A and B are shown apart, each in its own frame.
Chain A
């Protein structure tokens, strides 16, 4: 019984394979015959064979019936064949209304361009795999260190430990270690050039599944720490091809890295410059060659487990079937095992932890900040897109209403609503497609505004953002969504247009309904514009407040260059001698007004400073440290840092002899307050435990003004200034500050003189922040960018909304022309008529203002982190924003409303 019921169900199920029309025609016959085949017809053959015949028959015949249905006259294929004709018809219709078409295209371009730009940026930063990297989904960063607030304090994994970990790992297919840095690269002849490099293990390339453009990558023998690592290099495609005719030609070539001859054995794929999108690495050396290349010698060699060559950054490829959580747990347990087996050598491992960051391409510790910036950009552009969409809907709806007669006539002659709706959709699609293409071009313009800015706290600014097929596909998809979304209301209106009412001369019910919809759409546009206007005003206030911030230095025309004697194998005395020679050589150069050297520069990017412990820390129980700036004479004058008390350093106090005891110090105003309260500190002795040498006394000879270091919105730090090279300490990585009337020429002179003093030691020019002024601007760049974006897109949103108000009020005046004429004839005054006409627009304005204020309460939270000197709920800003909205909307409504007063009663009545 149950089998029969099941059989019947299956037979009915088989029927579903056929098109509905076929089922309607033959369902009874088929079901009857199925039963016969399976029961009586199957006499003499097993039931399963009859069933299999039925299934085979269905599998063959059902697709044939579907294909036949598609091809039949009037079927979907026929409909598709008719589309080119309908498209031509739509095109002709649009060509006959050029103003309408142009307005829609411009609106779509203005609203889609910014969205496409932000998608391009997100695609470039987050989605697009790094050039040459295969299967990027399974890749992630791994870092080792001690957890602290806001990140990790790095702890190295030495080669012996790394070998044991990678041998035992099951969850990770390949774990490549990497350590970044810079080195001086020198070709056979010519001057050295600073080049960003990475020391890596061979697994680095395995994990990334990179294929060399030419040559090969390192092998295990070349990365053997017991042998000191081979002097072989893999270089970027750009480095190879700027020097050689092709990547292949670079193989076997030799150059010098920090005075060591290195042979090129491989070239990476074009575009690959390290593990992040904004990476700039050009050179990869075996990790085991780290100490040799950096001219660094360890007491116990580079291979020891406790203090050998090691890494704290890794790139990992997850093994199939495992998760990142499992990988992190396994790494942790392996490290714990090592700490247990070799407790004395692995103190760092016992306190350290492995942290896994899925995905590569951007700095894992700054992802949250980057995501915050991108979210904000998406919010702004999505707002404009929404405004644009509602505007296009409004325009399409008005066009449909204008063509009521034509639509009703077509319907009266037998045209189906679906055909008319399809024609409207084709029109919208055509206009949106043209607008999308223009939007793509506009996106390039927006991207060029974003390029060069540092988003999300990035160290490097965004370079040229490349668009790809994914962006084009996104734009095409967005175009379809916009066209479909904007066509819903007009389609409803077209499908409900009633020819009988039109022929009878009656007004359309849907026409009245559409007026409500249009008002609602305008209110929506105005509401979306409010958060953008408020955001623009808040950013403007923030930038004004930041412009008032005194960084404590005079931007002037100072040029900054980096002197990096580290990794050159110089002794401290040689470092100081070189720096002294460089300063002396530059002093007499034409055009150079002043030149100083320092270990750190206020507000400049990536200040290179070390710290001294706070003498009061023990007293107050606070583990405070203070930056120590080693500076040569003239530093305070050049940067305009005021000397508040005492004096600056004397020439004999800088570059003292190695055995001379430096005993003078200049402190910043905040240090003076902190250490000496309100007493005058000059002449007082303070004990700074500098670099572990506890109990060293310094005599305070001066107090200078406070300066900001890395961020304009944080309070000025306590800074201690020491004479350059004090106590026989060399400052291997220092800033060279040069000043003159022609800043660019002065920087060139410094580069030239640097090369003369030591041809193998190039100075590094700070291309992106060549001076203090540029460094200051760089700190503001993200806020400036967001402020400009809010302002420009706020204007676009307001303009689109104003256009909607203008159009709707104008239509209302035209539609009520006769009624207005009657009123005027009956003695109504102009103000009353204008007031009546403005009623609809005022409703939309009020609804937009209230709705916008509501939206803004939530949206301003997104920008709160960027604000300075102004609250997100600043009443004045909100009032101004709402006033701007009301004034712009009011003006847009008043212009057509004024036309109502000009209606001649006699003429209107005659119509």
Chain B
């Protein structure tokens, strides 16, 4: 672990940094339980619409970085509610789940967004009939 890496970890434990929309949506998708990459992709696409890129390369790249930073880990077979699906090569698919730190980061971001939403609501910036 480099010195730079350890400083980043310390920073996170004190005041979680804001998550990018893509990361937030991936963590949000995993909040319901372990999912494989394609399911994450679908969940993000459904929740965020076309505003967030949800191609396989993008999603697995994001998951790889989340794994590297300890927010997401690969779920064991015993953690799955059902039999895991198989890949085209016949091997069981990889499922991913949130870690404690991932959950904490998700909660932190959700709280931040809620506060932001309250603030926007208090300012009456949005028209009454349209909040999209």
Contact = CB atoms under 8 A, between A and B. Distances in A.
Nearest to A31: B88
B57 A31 contact: no
A32 B94 CA distance: 11
Interface string B42-81: 0000000000010111101100110010000000000000
Interface stretch (A57-65, A355-363, A697-705): A57-65
Nearest to A15: B57
A33 B37 contact: yes
A76 to B, nearest CB: 14
A31 B65 contact: no
Contact of B55 (A28, A32, A61): A61
Contacts of A64: 61
B117 interface: no
Interface string A60-77: 111011001000110000
B61 A68 contact: yes
> What band does the interface of chain A fall in when counting residues whose beta carbon is under 8 Å from B?
20 to 34
A31 B87 contact: yes
Interface string B1-25: 1101100000000000000000000
Interface string B84-104: 000111010110000000000
A57 B57 contact: yes
Nearest to B63: A26
Contacts of A58: 55, 57
A9 B64 CA distance: 25
A618 interface: no
Interface residues of B, number: 24
B29 interface: no
Contacts of A18: 57
Interface string A24-57: 0110111111111100010000000000011011
A57 B60 contact: no
A28 B89 contact: yes
Contacts of A36: 38
B61 A30 contact: no
B30 interface: no
A34 B88 CA distance: 10
B2 A30 contact: no
Contacts of B65: 68
A870 B41 CA distance: 86
A26 B94 CA distance: 9
Interface in A98-130: none
A29 B36 contact: yes
A340 interface: no
A54 B58 CA distance: 10
Contacts of B37: 26, 29, 33
Given A22-B64, A60-B53, A73-B2, A32 B93 contact: yes
Contact of A29 (B2, B58, B87): B87
A78 to B, nearest CB: 7
Contacts of A61: 55, 57-58, 61
A538 B8 CA distance: 73
A60 B64 contact: no
B55 A53 contact: yes
Nearest to A36: B38
Nearest to A14: B57
Interface in A469-484: none
Nearest to B42: A41
Given A29-B37, A53-B55, A57-B55, A35 B60 contact: no
25 contacts: A18-B57, A22-B60, A22-B61, A25-B64, A26-B37, A26-B60, A26-B94, A29-B37, A29-B60, A31-B88, A31-B89, A33-B41, A33-B56, A35-B88, A36-B38, A37-B56, A41-B38, A53-B55, A54-B55, A57-B53, A60-B53, A60-B55, A61-B55, A65-B57, A68-B61
Interface of A: 18, 22, 25-26, 28-37, 41, 53-54, 56-58, 60-62, 64-65, 68, 72-73, 78
The 8 closest A-B pairs by CB, nearest first: A57-B55, A61-B57, A28-B87, A33-B56, A32-B87, A26-B60, A73-B2, A33-B38
